[in-house]
Amino acid sequence: METPESVRQDIPKASEKAEGRLEIREEPDLAGRSERLFGWILKGGGLSILVLFGVVILVCLVAAWPSIHRFGISFLWSSTWNPNRKIFGAFPYLVGTLWVTGIALITSIPVAIFSALFLSDYAPSWLSGIVSTLMEMLAGIPSIVFGAFGITFMVPLLRDHLEPFLARTLGTRWDFFNGDPLGYGILAAGFVVGFMIVPLVATVTRDSLLMVPQEMVEASYALGATKAETVFFVKLREVMPGIVGSVILGFGRAVGETMAVLLLVGNQPSIPQTIQDVGYTISSLLANTFTYAVIDPLYAAAEVELGLILLVITLAVNTLGRELLLRLMGGRLAGSVGGG
Amino acid sequence: MGSMTRLEGPISGRRILVTVFVLGILLVSGILRPVVSLAAGNITISGSSMLFPLEQVWALAYMKKHPGTHISVASTGSGFGIANAANGNITVGASDAFLTKEFRQRYPNLVSVPIAFDDAQVIYNIPGLDKKVVLNFDGKVLARIYLGKIRYWNDRQIRALNPDVHLPHTRIRVVHRADASGTTFVFTDYMNQTSKEWYNQVGRDMSPAWPVGSGYNGSDAVVAAVMSSPGSIGYVGLGWVMEYHLTTGALKNLDGKFVRGSVDTIREAGHAALKDPSFPDDFNRSIVWNIHGKNVYPDANFEFWMVNTNLDAGTMKEVRKLLMWALTKGQASKYTVKSGFAPLPFRPLKPRLDKIINRLLPGNGFNERSPG
Amino acid sequence: MARMSVSGFYAYYSENPALRNISLEIPDRQVLALIGPSGCGKTTFLRSLNRMNDFVKGFSVKGQVTLDDVDIYSSGLHPVVLRRRVGMVFQKPNPFHKSIFENVAYGLRIQGVRSRLILSDRVEQSLRSAALWDEVKDRLNSSAFSLSGGQQQRLCIARALAVEPEVLLLDEPASALDPISTARIEELIQDLKTQYAIVIVTHNMQQAARVSDRTAFFLTGEMVEIGETSRIFTNPSDERTEDYITGRFG
Please state, in angstroms and rounded to a whole number, the distance separating the CA atoms of residues B140 and A220.
Answer: 74
The answer to which of A46-60, B104-118, B349-363 has the lowest mean pLDDT is B349-363
Between A216, A220, A222, which is nearest C50 by CB?
A222
Q: A327 — contact with chain C (CB < 8 Å)?
A: no
Residue of A nearest to C158 (CA): A223
Query: Which of the four pLDDT bands, split at 50, 70 and 90, describes residue B141?
Result: very high
Query: Which of the four pLDDT bands, split at 50, 70 and 90, describes residue A196?
Result: very high
Q: Which residues face C4 on adjacent strands?
A: C26, C67
pLDDT in tens, A140-168: 888 889 999 999 999 999 999 999 999 88
Find out whether A230 and C109 touch, Cβ atoms under 8 Å.
no
pLDDT at A334: 39
Round the average pLDDT of chain B to a whole number and report it.
Answer: 84
Q: B277 — contact with chain A (CB < 8 Å)?
A: no
Average the pLDDT over B99-121 and give the result: 88
How does DSSP classify residue B368? P
Range A80-109 burial, b when 16+ CB lie within 10 A, else e: ebbbeeeebbbbbbbbbbbbbbebbbebbb
Query: Which of the four pLDDT bands, split at 50, 70 and 90, describes residue B2?
Result: very low
The proportion of chain B whose per-residue pLDDT surpasses 70, expressed as a percent, equals 85
Task: State the smallest CA–CA distance between residue A111 and chain C in angstroms.
Answer: 24
Q: Enter the ipTM.
A: 0.89
| Right CATH for A76-329 from 1.20.1280.260, 3.40.190.80, 1.10.3720.10, 1.10.300.10 | 1.10.3720.10
Query: Which of the four pLDDT bands, split at 50, 70 and 90, describes residue B33?
Result: very low
Record: contact A222-C52, CB cut-off 8 A: yes
Find out whether A265 and A254 touch, Cβ atoms under 8 Å.
no
Q: A223 — contact with chain C (CB < 8 Å)?
A: yes
Query: Which of the four pLDDT bands, split at 50, 70 and 90, describes residue B290?
Result: confident
Q: Which residues face C11 on adjacent strands?
A: C19, C61
Record: contact B28-A180, CB cut-off 8 A: no
Between A11, A62, A159, which is nearest B24 by CB?
A62
* Edge-to-edge order in the sheet of strand B300-308: B70-75, B42-47, B92-95, B300-308, B110-119
DSSP notation for B42-64? EEEEEE-TTTHHHHHHHHHHHHH
Record: contact A267-B214, CB cut-off 8 A: yes
Pairing of strands B110-119, B214-216: unpaired
Please state, in angstroms and rounded to a whole number, the distance separating the CA atoms of residues B252 and B296.
Answer: 9
Q: A98 — contact with chain B (CB < 8 Å)?
A: no
Alpha helices for chain B (secondary structure H): 13-29, 52-65, 78-86, 101-106, 139-146, 156-161, 182-194, 196-201, 219-228, 238-244, 263-275, 313-327, 346-360
Task: State the smallest CA–CA distance between residue B217 and chain A in angstroms.
Answer: 7
Crossing angle of helices A91-117 and A240-256, in 10° steps, is 140
Record: contact B203-A84, CB cut-off 8 A: yes
Task: State the smallest CA–CA distance between residue A81 and chain B in angstroms.
Answer: 6
Chains contacting chain B through 3 or more C-beta pairs under 8 A = A
Q: Report the length, in residues, of chain C.
A: 250
Spell out where B126-177 has E strands.
136-137, 173-177
Record: contact A55-B83, CB cut-off 8 A: no
Q: A52 — contact with chain C (CB < 8 Å)?
A: no
Please state, in angstroms and rounded to a whole number, the distance separating the CA atoms of residues B322 and C159.
Answer: 87
Distance of CA B63 to the CA centre of its chain: 25
Most distant pair of Cα atoms in chain A: their distance = 85
Residue of A nearest to B9 (CA): A13
Distance of CA C140 to the CA centre of its chain: 25
Range B310-327 burial, b when 16+ CB lie within 10 A, else e: ebeeebbbbbbebbbbbb
How far from A98 is each of A101, A106, C99, CA to CA, in Å?
5, 12, 34
Task: State the smallest CA–CA distance between residue C23 and chain A in angstroms.
Answer: 23
- Residues of chain A neighbouring B23 (CB-CB closer than 8 A): 51, 55
Crossing angle of helices A297-338 and A282-293, in 10° steps, is 140
Name the residue with higher pLDDT: B151 or B349: B151
pLDDT at B10: 41
- C115 burial (CB, 10 Å; 0-12 / 13-18 / 19+) is exposed
Please state, in angstroms and rounded to a whole number, the distance separating the CA atoms of residues C159 and C127.
Answer: 8
Query: Which of the four pLDDT bands, split at 50, 70 and 90, describes residue B354?
Result: confident
pLDDT at B31: 44
| Cα atoms found within 13 Å of the Cα of residue B285, Cβ hemisphere only | 14
Q: Who contacts B200 (Cβ-Cβ below 8 Å, separation ≥6)?
A: none
pLDDT at B285 over 80: no
Most distant pair of Cα atoms in chain B: their distance = 86
Find out whether C97 and C144 touch, Cβ atoms under 8 Å.
yes
pLDDT at B13 over 80: no
Spell out where A2-150 has E strands.
none
pLDDT at B276 over 50: yes
Round the average pLDDT of chain A to a whole number and report it.
Answer: 85
Between B171, B202, B203, which is nearest A180 by CB?
B171
pLDDT at B256 over 50: yes
Q: Nearest Cα to A265, choosing from A192, A194, A188?
A: A188
Q: Which residues face B231 on adjacent strands?
A: none
pLDDT at B66 over 80: yes
Q: Nearest Cα to B41, choosing from B64, B66, B16?
A: B66
CB interface of A with B, residues 77-96, below 8 Å: 80-85
pLDDT at B15: 54
pLDDT at B25 over 70: no
pLDDT at B364 over 70: no
Q: Which residues face C32 on adjacent strands?
A: C199, C214
Q: Which residues face C228 on adjacent strands?
A: C214
pLDDT at A179 over 70: yes
pLDDT at B81: 87
pLDDT at B35: 38
Query: Which of the four pLDDT bands, split at 50, 70 and 90, describes residue B288?
Result: low
Record: contact A331-C92, CB cut-off 8 A: no
| CA-based torsion, C141, C145, C148, C153: positive or negative | positive
pLDDT at B361: 80
Pairing of strands C2-13, C59-67: antiparallel
Q: How many CB atoms lie within 10 A of CB B347?
A: 9
CA gyration radius, chain C: 18
Instruction: Report which residue type is found at A208.
Output: S
Global pTM reads 0.79
Of all helices (H) and strands (E), which one includes residue A302? helix A297-338
pLDDT at A5: 44
pLDDT at C34: 93
pLDDT at B88 over 90: no
Residue of B nearest to A260 (CA): B217
The proportion of chain A whose per-residue pLDDT surpasses 70, expressed as a percent, equals 87
Please state, in angstroms and rounded to a whole number, the distance separating the CA atoms of residues B61 and A94.
Answer: 48
pLDDT in tens, A44-53: 888 999 999 8
pLDDT at A101: 95
Distance of CA B41 to the CA centre of its chain: 27
Q: A283 in helix, strand or coil? A: helix
pLDDT at A107: 95
Task: State the smallest CA–CA distance between residue B266 and chain A in angstroms.
Answer: 27
Residue of C nearest to A218 (CA): C52
Question: Angle at CA A129, nearest 5°, toward A124 and A130?
Answer: 105
pLDDT at A3 over 70: no
Where in chain A are the domains? 14-69, 76-329
Alpha helices for chain C (secondary structure H): 42-48, 79-85, 100-110, 116-129, 133-136, 149-162, 179-192, 205-211, 229-234, 239-245
When scoring A125, A223, A226, A232 by the number of chain C Cβ atoms within 10 A, the one with the most, hence best to mutate, is: A223
pLDDT at A138: 87
pLDDT at B366: 61
Name the residue with higher pLDDT: B305 or A338: B305
Q: Nearest Cα to C10, choosing from C44, C43, C55?
A: C44
Average the pLDDT over B287-312 and give the result: 87
Task: State the smallest CA–CA distance between residue C110 and chain A in angstroms.
Answer: 7
User: Helix, strand, coil: what percent of chain A each, to 5?
Assistant: 80, 0, 20
Q: A87 in helix, strand or coil? A: strand
Distance of CA B75 to the CA centre of its chain: 12
pLDDT at A331: 47
pLDDT at A226 over 70: yes
Average the pLDDT over C57-70 and give the result: 90
Please state, in angstroms and rounded to a whole number, the distance separating the CA atoms of residues B161 and B197.
Answer: 19
